[in-house]
Amino acid sequence: MVVALTIAGSDSGGGAGIQADLKTLAALGVYGTSAITAITAQNTRGVTAVQALEPAMVVAQIDAVASDLRPAATKIGMLANAGIIHAVVEALSRLQLPNVVLDPVMVAKGGDHLLDPAAVSALRDALVPLATVVTPNVPEAEVLTGLTIVTTADLHSACRRLVGLGAQSVLVKGGHLKGSATDVWSDGSRFVELSAERIDTAHTHGTGCTLSSAIAAGLARGLEIEAAIRAAKDYVTGAIRHAPGLGGGHGPLGHFWHLTSGI
């Protein structure tokens, strides 16, 4: 069984962060390990408290996992502040961890900030160049690139800008735009548009975490980048469609839908 590592924050509501990552990895046949960067008090309605861990503790978790359960892929989510970002960069470089999937988490579904605004430059300049795939949504891509994104052509431009920052490839998610849910993936030379039906539901908490973890699962299992992204997008679409309808706000996805449905 292959191993993947998630470096992210804890979501007490279980819909996003470490909890969503581990559910996704398990559902896709990958053994999930974790390094928690922050503890959040949250549910489907919003975030009520955040406590970031000390950078040294984050690195201690990464080292403990890598020394015994060598990850074939690493997903990175909420990092909270510049200190943690630089610590993670050091650990990734020192340990030479492969297949890094970076979900540049900045704001929770309900609008709560999960990354210190002063840390954006550290994420862009130090961490993006280490990524195999970066998976920003439209607001995150606008912050990282300085571009205004309103069309599919703008998604292409954002991909070019992020690859230019050093990422091996980029998937800019177009869910915030009008029309079909079209994402654009590029490695700087090829551009692939990936469309899916837009499902009318409030239960989309943790979609970014789930997608990036599913990509990491595919890479850990030996899929090429584009194939891993296509499989992950199909998985997330099904997880949204089969959301259990929990909570009074943005509810969690149905992470084990393809197992319980018999597919």
As annotated, the active-site residues are: 173, 204, 206-209
Amino acid sitting at position 36: I
Cα 104 off chain centre by: 7
Cβ(78)–Cβ(107) below 8 Å: no
Cα–Cα distance, 20 to 250 (Å, whole number): 14
Supply the Cα-derived Rg of the chain in whole angstroms.
Answer: 17
CA angle 118, 13, 114 (to 5 degrees): 5
Convert the chain into a string of H (helix), E (strand) and C (coil). CCEEEEEEEEECCCCCHHHHHHHHHHHCCCEEEEEEEEEEEEECCEEEEEEECCHHHHHHHHHHHHCCCCCCEEEECCCECHHHHHHHHHHHHHHCCCCEEECCCCECCCCCECECHHHHHHHHHHHHHHCCEECCEHHHHHHHHCCCCCCHHHHHHHHHHHHHCCCCCEEEECCCCCCCEEEEEECCCCEEEEEECCCCCCCCECHHHHHHHHHHHHHHCCCCHHHHHHHHHHHHHHHHHCCCCCCCCCCECCCCHHHHCCC
